[in-house]
Amino acid sequence: MESYVRETSYEKGELLHGEGAGCERIFIVREGRIKLFRTSSSGREQILETLGPGETCACNPGSAVWYCGSTAQALTPCKIWYLSRADYIQLVKTNAKIGHTLNELFARRLQCLSALVEEVSLKDVKKRLVKFLIDMLIEKGRRGGPENVLFIPFTRQEIAQRLGAARETVARYLSQLKEAHLIDIKPYQIIILNKEGLQHLLD
């Protein structure tokens, strides 16, 4: 596959593509982090996904006419591999392993977007935040490691954009959860002190 890809570097804050642009290629993150987001008519960003090394924006199964549904922006300095749509279609057609991997990717993406719809449908931002933390804890449990420690690769601004809320609101509710001894906050970490107490807030 290496012979098909072309590498491009981006600085933090640079755009890879914009929402509504024609899809002529897909990208694979080699290094760094990329956010995929949409912007509302009021100018507020809603993060759909955050991609890290080895992850891809691929959502086009080979359609000749396809438009990007989101904007992609570098959250950190990044190295990106690009694959043309024509090469992508050829690989999918001739490599069953890649096709199977893409099916898994699409299934995870659908699950992620379904969870996002559920989160945003909760009018209470505090409940959105609590559900976000509990979901991260569940996902972390699947991967192993200290079961109550969440390593947070997002800034508070990114969390706010993920939840469709203002940064100040998210910061205030994090402080409230800490004052209630439900969580503790460390640099790049949130420690869950009382999972049952958090779940009770969703009732």
pLDDT computed for residue 181 by the predictor: 93
Q: Which domain covers residue 50, as residue numbers?
A: 6-120
Please count the helices (runs of H) and the strands (runs of E) in the chain: 6, 10
Domain boundary, last residue among 74, 100, 120: 120
Write out the DSSP string of 54-122: T-B-----S-SS-B-SSEEEESS-EEEEEEEHHHHHHHHHH-HHHHHHHHHHHHHHHHHHHHHHHHHH-
pLDDT computed for residue 175 by the predictor: 93
Domain boundary, last residue among 86, 120, 154: 120
Three-state secondary structure call for residue 4: coil
Q: What's the CATH code of the domain at 116?
A: 2.60.120.10
Q: Are 149 and 193 in contact (CB under 8 A)?
A: no
Domain boundary, last residue among 85, 120, 155: 120
**Domain co-membership, 29 together with 116:** yes
Give the helix/strand (H/E) hosting 17. Answer: strand 15-17
pLDDT in tens, 140-199: 766 666 678 888 877 888 888 778 778 888 899 999 999 999 999 988 889 999 989 998
pLDDT-derived band of residue 117, with 50, 70 and 90 as boundaries?
low
Higher pLDDT, 155 or 63: 155
pTM over 0.95: no
Query: What is the chain's percent helix, strand, coil content, to nearest 5?
Result: 40, 25, 35
**Number of domains making up the chain:** 2
Give the helix/strand (H/E) hosting 132. Answer: helix 125-143
**Domain co-membership, 80 together with 133:** no
Distance of CA 131 to the CA centre of its chain: 15
**Domain co-membership, 29 together with 104:** yes
pLDDT in tens, 12-28: 999 998 887 777 788 88
Length in residues, the chain? 203
What is the Cα–Cα distance from 202 to 200, expressed in whole angstroms? 5
In a domain, residue 1? The reply is: no
pLDDT computed for residue 122 by the predictor: 56
**Domain co-membership, 167 together with 191:** yes
